[in-house]
Amino acid sequence: MSRISFKEMQTTIKQAFVKAGLSEEKADICAHVHAGSSRDGVYSHGLNRVARFVEYIQKGWVNADAEPTLEKRLTAIEIYNGNLGPGVLNAQFAMNRAMELAENHGLGMVGLNNTTHWMRGGTYGRQAAEKGFVALCWTNTESCMPAWGAKSVGIGNNPFILAVPREKGHLVLDMAMSQYSYGKLQVTRLKNEKLPYPGGFDENGYLSNEPGAIEQTKRILPTGFWKGSGMAILLDILSAILSNGLSTAGIDRAGKGSCGRCNQVFIAFDPVKITGKQFMDKVVEETIAQIKSSQPADENTNIFYPGEQSLKIRNENLRLGIPVDKGIWEEVKKLASE
Amino acid sequence: MSRISFKEMQTTIKQAFVKAGLSEEKADICAHVHAGSSRDGVYSHGLNRVARFVEYIQKGWVNADAEPTLEKRLTAIEIYNGNLGPGVLNAQFAMNRAMELAENHGLGMVGLNNTTHWMRGGTYGRQAAEKGFVALCWTNTESCMPAWGAKSVGIGNNPFILAVPREKGHLVLDMAMSQYSYGKLQVTRLKNEKLPYPGGFDENGYLSNEPGAIEQTKRILPTGFWKGSGMAILLDILSAILSNGLSTAGIDRAGKGSCGRCNQVFIAFDPVKITGKQFMDKVVEETIAQIKSSQPADENTNIFYPGEQSLKIRNENLRLGIPVDKGIWEEVKKLASE
């Protein structure tokens, strides 16, 4: 494992994206998001997804030049067609619009259809939190997980994000409806490690903590067994209804790769308009204090608020450099220099 | 185990509630909700919670006469003080207002502070679905679960509900952030059964599927380990911010029993205004078709959409009568006749 500075990683990814056909400005934003995800420890959706994004542009599954277009407006709701543009840019645009609507109405919702992979969902929670907004957003995906009771894949893992701003470190929950994302399985396999808890079923139908065995069967375990399965099904249906987009079944038929033609829903709340910043800060601090004063399960276990571990990893990676898999880093450097 | 008709159960619960001080009209609605939960198989939050509700009125933790009062209005948002009124009535009122706001704006949100236990959260998802609305709502609770990494309780299990209307049977997800609710632990223990999957830690710190052992330690397992813990923390903070209410830490200090002074958030979406009923129906049916066409894990396993099992149990219980624990049924009959 090597470590690369944030600046070097961002510059290299940007070059790869410019070579792939993105404008300088768009490549800059996308590279910042990918490098930022790796910096925060979400390697699977940072550097490790650069090559796939470039491949999708080459295949025509992502349109490097497309911009979102307004389809509908209704008080605090707007619906956009993402026109298969880069998912990161579409999602940033949509969250930004949701915040503008929330500034006027206390709350704003944007439904975004026909978009592409937004990479790390937490990016958009943090985007809102940075501007002082509370956010709730989610995406649907292609089928990548069996519904509870099934052994063939039929539902998405539909990541769901909640975010609350806090000066000393935002609270951000970024959870897929699978106990582990395929990205986490990949990263764990690349490190030759096992999962800390079972993450799916192996080819013999037994619960397993071997990432490779689960990647093969695609029988990843829904978060909380039947609960994550049910939540994934309804997040999918809601995302389609609220964005005028395709359900997971429709995305499967479209066949444009991981999250090609998926939908996202962005809801922003302006806490200043609703109950005030001082009130929010009090609620957040007393909740963190309550969690931190719990008795730890054992002396080696820390109790974190959602987003705290990302912040710790961010600080470490900024100090020491961002760890990279050598093969993946060489591949991205090659894409940047071709 | 005996079986009681829906009508007999509702009438008996209503009498118990009238004796406890509720008006005829309020007792009628509350009894319908409690009996309806038992009818749908959610025994833990139906008949089994009648005695506790009566006890809370006697203790002054629930105010039988209180009505919600408006605190704030902002385009499609309203905030109400529940004034410690019966949680079921406050929640029905709030979901109804959210739907009225959604009729005008496509979406409506009601934050409800200072309320009491809403019993079965799915009730309000179904209430919205019955009128053709898509709904998202949740509640916070007192501390009843350890945060991930802790062994003392410090967070709520904060049930979260998603609902989509469907003529042949609504889709309703009703999930607590614990893998099992305390109600489910109680019901399983009363049946002398074990949990199908581990539900928490026993006194020696081992994962256990013995409901009684988990009830003793209160180390119930968050849904999906760290995921349910993080989601519970953020649902709690959001519910306080969006309703001007108390966080779980504040509810703990208030000390008014299970969910006394809790908050709820109700978001209703009008699918007719957003993308149309025909579109919604298509999305729902193709998603159900996709799930049902999955390969089952084995020949004895069914694949259900969220809410389908409740509907099956409802039909069976309406035909055969609702199963009741004899001790609990006798206790409610006593409350009705005192």
Q: Which of B80, B174, B209, B290 to mutate to test the interface with A (most CBs of A within 10 A)?
A: B290
Task: Give pLDDT, residue A148.
Answer: 97
A45 counts as catalytic:
yes
Task: Give pLDDT, residue B205.
Answer: 87
Q: Under the phi-then-psi rule, with left for phi > 0, alpha for psi from -120 to 50, and beta for the rest, what region is A100? A: alpha
Q: Which residue from B minimizes the CA distance to A235?
A: B162
Planar angle of CA B40, B44, B45, nearest 5 degrees: 75
Q: What integer is the mean pLDDT of B213-224? A: 94
Nearest CB among B146, B274, B289 relative to A241 is that of B274
Count of C-beta atoms within a 10 Å radius of residue B301: 12
Task: Give pLDDT, residue A338.
Answer: 78
- Topology of A2-59+311-337 in CATH? Hypothetical Oxidoreductase Yiak; Chain: A, domain 1 (1.10.1530)
CB B51 within 8 A of CB B328: yes
Cα(A165)–Cα(A277) distance, integer angstroms: 10
Residue B177 DSSP label: S
Q: What is the pLDDT of residues B29-88, one digit of tens each?
A: 999 999 999 999 999 899 999 999 999 999 999 999 999 999 999 999 999 999 999 999
Q: Which of B112, B170, B287, B298 to mutate to test the interface with A (most CBs of A within 10 A)?
A: B287
Contact call for B279 and A75, based on CB within 8 A: no
Cα(A222)–Cα(A229) distance, integer angstroms: 5
Q: What's the order of all strands across the beta sheet hosting B160-164? A: B69-74, B77-81, B107-115, B262-269, B134-139, B160-164, B171-175
Q: What is the DSSP secondary-structure string of B183-205?
A: HHHHHHHHTT---SS--EE-TTS
Count of C-beta atoms within a 10 Å radius of residue B205: 12
Contact call for B303 and A274, based on CB within 8 A: no
| Cβ-based contacts of B223 with chain A (< 8 Å) | 223-224, 227-228
CB A268 within 8 A of CB A250: no
Catalytic position from the list B34, B45, B117, B170: B45
CB A2 within 8 A of CB A326: yes
Task: Give pLDDT, residue A304.
Answer: 97
Task: Give pLDDT, residue A182.
Answer: 82
More confident residue, A241 or A198: A241
Contact call for A150 and B290, based on CB within 8 A: no
For residue A219, how many C-alpha atoms fall within 13 Å in the half-sphere facing its CB? 23
Q: What is the pLDDT of residues B79-134, one digit of tens each?
A: 999 999 999 999 999 999 999 999 999 999 999 999 999 999 999 999 999 999 99
Asked if the domains at B2-59+311-337 and B69-178+222-274 fall in one CATH topology, the answer is no
Using alpha carbons, list the distances in angstroms from residue B333 to A187, B19, B178: 59, 11, 32
Q: Residue A186 pLDDT more than 90?
A: no
Q: What is the pLDDT of residues A187-238, one digit of tens each?
A: 899 899 999 888 999 999 888 999 999 999 989 999 999 999 999 999 999 9
Contact call for A227 and B179, based on CB within 8 A: yes
The alpha carbon of residue A14 is apart from the nearest alpha carbon of chain B, in Å, by 33
pLDDT band at B26 (very low <50, low <70, confident <90, very high): very high
Task: Give pLDDT, residue A310.
Answer: 96
**Encoding tokens for residue A150?**
């099934």
**Encoding tokens for residue A224?**
């909380």
Task: Give pLDDT, residue B187.
Answer: 80
Contact call for B242 and A79, based on CB within 8 A: no
Q: What is the pLDDT of residues A30-86, one digit of tens each?
A: 999 999 999 999 998 999 999 999 999 999 999 999 999 999 999 999 999 999 999
Ranges of H-type helices in B218-270: 226-243, 248-254
Cα(B42)–Cα(A262) distance, integer angstroms: 35
Task: Give pLDDT, residue B44.
Answer: 86
Nearest CB among B151, B154, B237 relative to A297 is that of B151
Contact call for B205 and A247, based on CB within 8 A: no
**Encoding tokens for residue A111?**
């439904």
Q: Which residue from A minimizes the CA distance to B154?
A: A291
| Cβ-based contacts of B73 with chain A (< 8 Å) | none
ipTM summary value: 0.97
Nearest CB among A75, A223, A224 relative to B76 is that of A75
Contact call for B173 and A205, based on CB within 8 A: no
Task: Give pLDDT, residue A116.
Answer: 98
Task: Give pLDDT, residue B146.
Answer: 97
Nearest CB among A75, A233, A235 relative to B305 is that of A233
Catalytic position from the list A32, A34, A45, A170: A45
Count of C-beta atoms within a 10 Å radius of residue A77: 25
Comparing C-alpha atoms, which of B72, B259, B130, B151 is closest to residue A293?
A: B151
Residue B263 DSSP label: E
Nearest CB among A163, A274, A290 relative to B77 is that of A274
The alpha carbon of residue B189 is apart from the nearest alpha carbon of chain A, in Å, by 21
Task: Give pLDDT, residue B203.
Answer: 92
Beta bridge partners of B324: B2
Nearest CB among A136, A247, A304 relative to B287 is that of A247
Q: Which residue from A minimizes the CA distance to B277?
A: A241
Q: Residue A303 pLDDT more than 80?
A: yes
Task: Give pLDDT, residue B80.
Answer: 98
Contact call for A74 and B105, based on CB within 8 A: yes
Q: Under the phi-then-psi rule, with left for phi > 0, alpha for psi from -120 to 50, and beta for the rest, what region is B16? A: alpha
Task: Give pLDDT, residue A181.
Answer: 83
| Cβ-based contacts of A244 with chain B (< 8 Å) | 274-275, 279
Q: What is the pLDDT of residues A153-182, one digit of tens each?
A: 999 999 999 999 999 999 999 999 999 988
Q: What is the pLDDT of residues A96-137, one digit of tens each?
A: 999 999 999 999 999 999 999 999 999 999 999 999 999 999
Task: Give pLDDT, residue B198.
Answer: 85
3-state secondary structure chain A: CEEECHHHHHHHHHHHHHHHCCCHHHHHHHHHHHHHHHHCCCHHHCHHHHHHHHHHHHHCCCCCCCCCEEEEEECCEEEEECCCCCHHHHHHHHHHHHHHHHHHHCEEEEEEEEECCCCCCHHHHHHHHHCCCEEEEEECCCCCEECCCECCEEECCCCEEEEECCCCCCEEEEECCECCCHHHHHHHHHCCCCCCCCCEECCCCCEECCHHHHHHHCCECECCCHHHHHHHHHHHHHHHHHHCCCCHHHHHHHCCCCCCCEEEEEEEECHHHHCCHHHHHHHHHHHHHHHHCCCECCCCCCCCCCCHHHHHHHHHHHHHCEEECHHHHHHHHHHHHC
Task: Give pLDDT, residue A198.
Answer: 85
Task: Give pLDDT, residue B318.
Answer: 98
Q: Which of A171, A233, A243 to mutate to test the interface with B (most CBs of B within 10 A)?
A: A233
Task: Give pLDDT, residue B200.
Answer: 94
State percent of chain A over pLDDT 90.
93
Domain ranges of chain A: 2-59+311-337, 69-178+222-274, 277-305
The alpha carbon of residue B99 is apart from the nearest alpha carbon of chain A, in Å, by 15
Contact call for B234 and A164, based on CB within 8 A: yes
Total CB pairs under 8 A between chain A and B: 265
CB A118 within 8 A of CB B86: no
Strand-strand pairing, A107-115 and A77-81: parallel
Q: What integer is the mean pLDDT of B149-177? A: 97
- Spacing of C-alpha A212 from chain mean position: 22
Cα(A54)–Cα(B114) distance, integer angstroms: 52
Contact call for B297 and A238, based on CB within 8 A: no
Q: Which residue from A minimizes the CA distance to B205?
A: A297
pLDDT band at B291 (very low <50, low <70, confident <90, very high): very high
Task: Give pLDDT, residue B1.
Answer: 75
CB A333 within 8 A of CB A12: yes
Task: Give pLDDT, residue B215.
Answer: 93
Contact call for A286 and B134, based on CB within 8 A: no
The alpha carbon of residue B280 is apart from the nearest alpha carbon of chain A, in Å, by 6
Q: What integer is the mean pLDDT of B1-15? A: 96
State percent of chain B over pLDDT 70.
100
Contact call for A301 and B149, based on CB within 8 A: yes
Collect all residues with Cβ–Cβ distance below 8 Å to A199 and sequence separation of at least 6: A178, A179, A180, A184, A185, A208, A209, A211, A214, A220, A221
Comparing C-alpha atoms, which of B163, B114, B122 is closest to residue B267?
A: B163
- Topology of B69-178+222-274 in CATH? Ribosomal Protein S8; Chain: A, domain 1 (3.30.1370)
